[in-house]
């Protein structure tokens, strides 16, 4: 069915608004629009362990595999990390297939060489070509930013990193130390039969916690669960029951006085940063077409003494509980009987906000 994608709108008044219609979660044209207009212009987390740390090291990777499949190269030029296209500007050869410490970037097809920042250094066969090199003969450079152990990349513009990330930094800089250990054992990958946006919808409300997560629910003081919105995402702040682990927050912190058990930060579109007294667990959501989603977990620990206690315990079980409900919604929103729902105004502000950001972003020029 041909649908008018530009006609999609979410009422700003949450009490009156209807949710995204069911078809949005299963429409190839809508997904193609996100791939064209939204995902290339938003910030995404680098999902791999391999990290260039010394001059000349380079790691090939794919941005949003399954959706963008954009071949990129993370490099270290001695001073800083950089992210450039891994696609040769001559005939489109993907140049680097394995991590290496080769120094500059060399295309094996016809011998072009590029610097680690993407500058074209030499191009055999083009010595007499007029108007060469043009700007587009250098490698495309993506924007890159680091926060703690996380590396964010934006392929082509959109919001400036500082503005997008500021609300998260303001809240988390004081609770996330500079130094932490990556925990490979706590960093599994998951896959489910559901649209990526359904996974986000579910993440963005604590409304389901008492119904779906009995273990997590037992650790939380449900009476003080908060959701706060900001331009590029939202925070959910969960408070601990009296004997459960909580942050000790300095007087200057906006949440001083609360016994915070967990911060759940979501950044549009695919980044989730969960911070507990023991450390941080990051979910990188990777849309795989309309009906499948991969989630890469990355866990970083700074206080192992509270690991597997409180809100940050048993994350694997919580993930499976979430996947089960998300997959059931994926089947349900395709029903001929389902059109769209309404938002519970007290509990689903995060979901409403996501839908509004998504619809606005989908209208960006292609
Ligand atoms: S494709 Fe790279 S030099 Fe020809
Ligand atoms: Fe959940």
> Which ligand sits closest to the CA of 113?
1
User: Is there a single domain that holds both residue 193 and residue 266?
Assistant: yes
Q: In this structure, is residue 1 part of a structural domain?
A: no
| DSSP codes of every residue in 8-25 | ----S-TTT-B---GGGG
**199/221 Cα distance (integer angstroms):** 24
Report the pLDDT value the prediction gives residue 120, as an integer from 0 to 100. Answer: 98
User: Is there a single domain that holds both residue 132 and residue 209?
Assistant: no
Query: In terms of residue numbers, what domain contains 143?
Result: 44-157
Most ligand 1 atoms within 8 A of CB, residue of 88, 114, 127 to mutate: 88
User: Is there a single domain that holds both residue 221 and residue 146?
Assistant: no
User: Is there a single domain that holds both residue 356 and residue 227?
Assistant: yes
Most ligand 1 atoms within 8 A of CB, residue of 71, 85, 91, 125 to mutate: 91
Distance separating the N- and C-terminal Cα atoms of the chain? 22
Tell me the pTM: 0.96
Most ligand 1 atoms within 8 A of CB, residue of 107, 120, 137 to mutate: 107
Question: What's the structural domain count of the chain?
Answer: 2
Number of continuous H segments (helices) and E segments (strands) in the chain: 7, 17
| Residue of minimum CA distance from atom 4 in ligand 1 | 110
Q: How many CA atoms lie within 13 A of 344 on its CB side?
A: 10
The DSSP output letter for 34 is I
Pocket of ligand 1 (CB under 6 A): 88, 90-91, 93, 107, 109-112
User: Is there a single domain that holds both residue 221 and residue 335?
Assistant: yes
**322/217 Cα distance (integer angstroms):** 13
pLDDT tens for the chain, 366 residues long, are 778 999 999 999 999 999 999 999 999 999 999 999 999 999 999 999 999 999 999 999 999 999 999 999 999 999 999 999 999 999 999 999 999 998 899 999 999 999 999 999 999 999 999 999 999 999 999 999 999 999 999 999 888 999 999 999 999 999 999 999 999 999 999 999 999 999 999 999 999 999 999 999 998 998 889 999 999 999 999 999 998 999 999 999 999 999 999 999 999 999 999 999 999 999 999 999 999 999 999 999 999 998 888 888 888 999 999 999 999 999 999 999 999 999 999 999 999 999 999 999 999 887
Alpha carbon of 278 to those of 68, 86, 147, 255, 261: distances in Å? 34, 37, 18, 18, 10
Q: In this structure, is residue 214 part of a structural domain?
A: yes
DSSP 3-state of 225? coil
Distance 112 CA to ligand 1 centre (A): 6
Lookup: tokens for 209: 């916690």
Tokens 């391999």 identify what position?
50
User: Is there a single domain that holds both residue 149 and residue 266?
Assistant: no
Distance 48 CA to ligand 2 centre (A): 25
Report the pLDDT value the prediction gives residue 118, as an integer from 0 to 100. Answer: 97
Q: In this structure, is residue 232 part of a structural domain?
A: yes
User: Is there a single domain that holds both residue 283 and residue 178?
Assistant: yes
> Which ligand sits closest to the CA of 236?
2
> Which ligand sits closest to the CA of 120?
1
**128/218 Cα distance (integer angstroms):** 73
| DSSP codes of every residue in 50-61 | ----STT-EEEE
Tell me the longest C-alpha to C-alpha distance in the chain. Answer: 76
Most ligand 1 atoms within 8 A of CB, residue of 112, 133, 139 to mutate: 112
> Which ligand sits closest to the CA of 311?
2
* Tens digit of each residue's pLDDT (9 = 90 or more) over 141-173: 999 999 999 999 999 988 899 999 999 999 999
User: Is there a single domain that holds both residue 280 and residue 344?
Assistant: yes
User: Is there a single domain that holds both residue 168 and residue 288?
Assistant: yes
> Distance between alpha carbon 105 and the CA centroid of its chain, in Å?
28
Distance 68 CA to ligand 2 centre (A): 27
Distance 295 CA to ligand 2 centre (A): 14
User: Is there a single domain that holds both residue 144 and residue 196?
Assistant: no
| Residue of minimum CA distance from atom 3 in ligand 1 | 110
**198/262 Cα distance (integer angstroms):** 22
Q: What is the CATH classification number for the domain harbouring 138?
A: 2.102.10.10
Tokens 């620990």 identify what position?
301
**17/175 Cα distance (integer angstroms):** 35
User: Is there a single domain that holds both residue 206 and residue 284?
Assistant: yes
Q: What is the CATH classification number for the domain harbouring 297?
A: 3.90.380.10
């Amino acid at each position: 069915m041909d649908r008018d994608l530009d006609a999609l709108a979410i009422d700003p008044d949450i009490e009156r608004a209807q949710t995204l219609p069911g078809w949005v979660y299963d429409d190839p044209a809508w997904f193609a629009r996100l791939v064209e207009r939204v995902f290339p212009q938003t910030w995404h987390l680098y999902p791999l362990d391999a990290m260039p740390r010394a001059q000349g090291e380079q790691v090939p990777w794919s941005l949003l595999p399954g959706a963008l499949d954009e071949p990129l190269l993370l490099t270290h030029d001695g001073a800083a990390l950089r992210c450039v296209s891994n696609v040769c500007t001559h005939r489109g050869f993907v140049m680097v297939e394995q991590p290496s410490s080769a120094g500059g970037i060399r295309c094996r097809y016809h011998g072009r060489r590029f610097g680690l920042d993407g500058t074209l250094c030499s191009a055999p066969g083009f010595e007499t070509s007029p108007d060469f090199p043009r700007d587009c003969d250098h490698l495309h450079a993506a924007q890159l930013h680091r926060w703690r152990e996380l590396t964010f990349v934006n392929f082509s513009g959109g919001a400036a990193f500082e503005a997008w990330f500021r609300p998260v930094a303001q809240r988390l800089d004081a609770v996330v130390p500079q130094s932490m250990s990556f925990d490979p054992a706590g960093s599994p990958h998951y896959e489910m039969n559901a649209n990526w946006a359904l996974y986000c919808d579910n993440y963005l409300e604590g409304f389901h916690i008492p119904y779906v997560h009995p273990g997590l629910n037992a650790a939380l003081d449900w009476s003080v669960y908060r959701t706060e919105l900001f331009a590029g995402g939202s925070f959910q702040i969960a408070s601990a029951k009296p004997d459960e682990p909580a942050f000790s927050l300095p007087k200057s912190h906006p949440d001083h006085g609360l016994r915070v058990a967990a911060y759940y930060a979501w950044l549009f579109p695919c980044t989730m940063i969960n911070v507990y007294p023991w450390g941080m667990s990051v979910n990188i959501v990777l849309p795989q077409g309309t009906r499948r989603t991969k989630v890469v977990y990355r866990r970083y620990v700074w206080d192992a003494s509270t690991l597997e206690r409180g809100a940050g315990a048993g994350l694997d079980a919580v993930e499976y509980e979430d996947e089960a409900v998300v997959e059931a919604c994926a089947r349900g929103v395709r029903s001929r009987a389902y059109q769209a729902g309404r938002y519970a105004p007290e509990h689903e502000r995060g979901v409403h906000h996501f839908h509004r950001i998504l619809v606005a972003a989908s209208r960006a020029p292609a």
